[in-house]
Amino acid sequence: MAKILFIIAPKNFRDEELLEPIKALQTNNTISICSFIKGQCTGSLGAMIAADITPKEALARITEYHAVIFVGGTGSSIYHNDAVAHEIARKAAANPKQVLAAICWAVVTLAKAGVLAGKQMTGWVSPTGEEKKIFTAGKAKFQDKDVVVDGHIVTANGPHAAHEFGMEIKKLLESL
């Protein structure tokens, strides 16, 4: 049984990017939802889920988790420059027995935390291309694919890839 931490924005996380991986991972696993607020969080399409842990609390218990998953959506920008989120990502990236994953716009948090340097990855890129500049500035090796796995790091580029993202995380957890 694995303990899995999903990190979401209090508002406007992308519903599918949370719910599809939860479907793939909920059997025989313990799911924790982390956000800046405890209590009800709302997705951009109306999904409601209760957060039971804050990022500071999650950081203090980071070694307990087998997977740490950053969920995208417009609200995920709240974590892009957050020192605690960056430290969570760095600690998970440093532990080869822990899956670190991010989807869509949340991949920017991993890039800004410095954990994608030298890694194959993907993520959502807006028409301005700003995100791709952040990825390459962080020395990440951007791939125009739905899901990319590099070692124990999984990245995905948007809601359409949410199911495959969840399945890749599940495969990695089974192999660790």
- With a CB cutoff of 8 Å and minimum separation 6, the contacts of 123 are 102, 103, 104, 105, 106, 107, 108, 111, 131, 135, 142, 155, 156, 157
Regarding pTM above 0.85, the answer is yes
60: how many CB neighbours lie within 10 A of its CB? 11
Residue 138: per-residue pLDDT: 87
Q: What is the tens place of the pLDDT at every residue in 30-48?
A: 999 999 999 999 999 999 9
Q: What is the tens place of the pLDDT at every residue in 34-86?
A: 999 999 999 999 999 999 999 999 999 999 999 999 999 999 999 999 999 99
- The CATH H-level (homologous superfamily) assignment of domain 3-175 is Class I glutamine amidotransferase (GATase) domain (3.40.50.880)
